[in-house]
Structure 1
Amino acid sequence: MLKKLTSLSASVLLTFLLINPVQAENDEQELHKKRMALYKKTETVTQIPWYYIAAIDQYERNSSEEDKDDQLVSISIQDEIWYGIGNSSMIKDESIIEFFQGKGKDGNGDNKADPENPEDVLYTMANILLEYGPARDQIKIALWNFYKRDLSVQTIMNTAKVFKKFDKIELTDRAFPLDTAYNYTINSNWGDRRGFGGLRIHEGSDIFADYGTPVKSATYGVIEMKGWNLYGGWRLGIRDINNVYHYYAHMSGYNDDIKVGQVVKPGDSLGKVGSTGYGPPGTSGKFPPHLHYGLYQDDGYSEWSFDPYPHLRRWEKMSD
């Protein structure tokens, strides 16, 4: 009897493990559909393109200290902005909010401007943008006045470009940053000491490979920077839609079509592995050829390096 119960328990556990990831994926897809429907609805009633609204929501989701992945909408508007200064009772009536010069709006027709209601939040955010106008440059000014931080504005505008190009928000694919058909070795050396230019830590993982090995985009994003750097040689930076900056260094050069502001997707070719850096432009050969790959997270206040090694191993399996 005990043997049968043990066998049954194992069977139930196995079934749970097999079904649960599928259910989680289905739930995530359903959440993306609901979000997209709200973004499109907000665009219809405000004429603010949906991809700007989606990009703001995405930025807030990835900047928050709270886990907002399961929330329908993650935009948070401060109480004094929503209700107005003087509306200490936080009355949700739109006419009262207007009297106190608050920004909160009723987006779903229930006669309340509720900062906990997703439709009200998106409608309010869109109207904050509309105060400056619906054009790209006007939206950029509105974002700066709301966030008062250049990197926040740049990240949102870049994410909007990605959403617009692919016409969707569910962009979860990733790729290994080198062509896996070539020989390579990943070093887990994030945090190691480096001495060139002064004592510092190594903010990335080194992927050793032969000269000329193709370098690829690991993510959906926008090329934010390219050019020579004293430490990194020919380097390139991509800002993805999750507020993460992907840093590629020591490349031998770039593909001819690569330019700053370009939207890329996982697997797009960027250039070749080299050994450039640690000197003036053109310096090469001071170390074996490899790609230095770094990841930096932005939380809306500051940006910091984190270990890319676990992610590289996961993307390596996804690329097989």
Structure 2
Amino acid sequence: MRLASMPAPTSLAMPVADIKRGAIRDTWHAPRAPGRRHEGIDIFAKRGTPVLASTEGIVLSRGDNSLGGNVVWVLGPSGQRHYYAHLDQPAVVVRGERVQVGTLLGYVGNTGNAKTTPPHLHYGVYTSGGAINPYPLLAKKQSAN
């Protein structure tokens, strides 16, 4: 209940270890086949680099799908859903588990429809109105709480 009543974050922690804010690029809405648009951003890193929770929340699911490959979904403040995809392998997190900023969720990979691309994390944020661009939230320095 507390998460749902919290305001949506105005900045997020970097979800890939050792990646600086200035190193990420805005790949939001880049064209994808067949006629889709990219609903997130790709953060490229060496295979096996830790993927970390960008916000506190509750693990909604951990699994596999055709587009994202190995994925983890986290329910965060204001009901936003955070999507971590193309993981080489997910960490041992389970549905219903509480996570904090920095909790290990998995490792950078190229599973799912990213098999032919360099390893990266596809990171998406979804609200009740649909996907939103996470780039401005990641590019902005996180405020101290």
What CA distance in whole angstroms lies between the structure 2 residues aligned with 1:174 and 1:312?
5
Counterpart code for 1:309: Y
* Maintained 8 Å contact 1:173/1:219: no
What CA distance in whole angstroms lies between the structure 2 residues aligned with 1:228 and 1:255?
13
User: Of 23, 28, 33, which residue of structure 2 is paired with 1:190?
Assistant: 28
Match of 1:292 in 2: 122
- Runs of 4+ in structure 1 off by over 4 angstroms are 171-174
TM-score by length of 2: 0.86
Counterpart code for 1:293: Y
User: Of 237, 246, 263, which residue of structure 1 is paired with 2:73?
Assistant: 237
Q: Does residue 206 in structure 1 map to residue 42 in structure 2?
A: yes
User: Of 13, 26, 30, which residue of structure 2 is paired with 1:175?
Assistant: 13
Query: What whole-Å deviation, never above 9, does each CA across 1:12-55 have from its counterpart, x for those lacking one?
Result: xxxxxxxxxxxxxxxxxxxxxxxxxxxxxxxxxxxxxxxx5x56
- TM-aligned CA deviation for residue 241 of structure 1: 2.0
- TM-aligned CA deviation for residue 254 of structure 1: 1.4
**SS in structure 2 opposite 1:242?**
helix
* 1:55/1:272 CA distance change after superposition, 3 Å: closer
**SS in structure 1 opposite 2:78?**
coil
Q: Does residue 271 in structure 1 map to residue 109 in structure 2?
A: no
What CA distance in whole angstroms lies between the structure 1 residues aligned with 2:100 and 2:88?
21
Query: Bigger radius of gyration, 1 or 2?
Result: 1
Match of 1:248 in 2: 84
* 1:216/1:55 CA distance change after superposition, 3 Å: closer
Bigger fraction of residues in strand: 2
In structure 2, runs of 5+ residues without a counterpart are none
What CA distance in whole angstroms lies between the structure 1 residues aligned with 2:3 and 2:133?
26
Percent sequence identity is: 37
Q: Does residue 312 in structure 1 map to residue 145 in structure 2?
A: no
Counterpart code for 1:273: V
What CA distance in whole angstroms lies between the structure 2 residues aligned with 1:272 and 1:55?
26
What CA distance in whole angstroms lies between the structure 2 residues aligned with 1:207 and 1:272?
12
Counterpart code for 1:232: G
CA RMSD of aligned residues (A): 2.7
Report 1:143-154 matches (<5 A).
none
- TM-aligned CA deviation for residue 181 of structure 1: 6.1
In structure 1, runs of 5+ residues without a counterpart are 1-51, 63-170, 279-283
TM-score by length of 1: 0.41
* Larger RCO of the pair (alpha carbons < 8 Å, separation 6+): 2
* 1:203/1:174 CA distance change after superposition, 3 Å: closer
Counterpart code for 1:274: G
- TM-aligned CA deviation for residue 186 of structure 1: 1.6
Query: What whole-Å deviation, never above 9, does each CA across 1:165-210 have from its counterpart, x for those lacking one?
Result: xxxxxx999421011268x942211111100xx3211000110101
Match of 1:33 in 2: none
* Maintained 8 Å contact 1:173/1:266: no
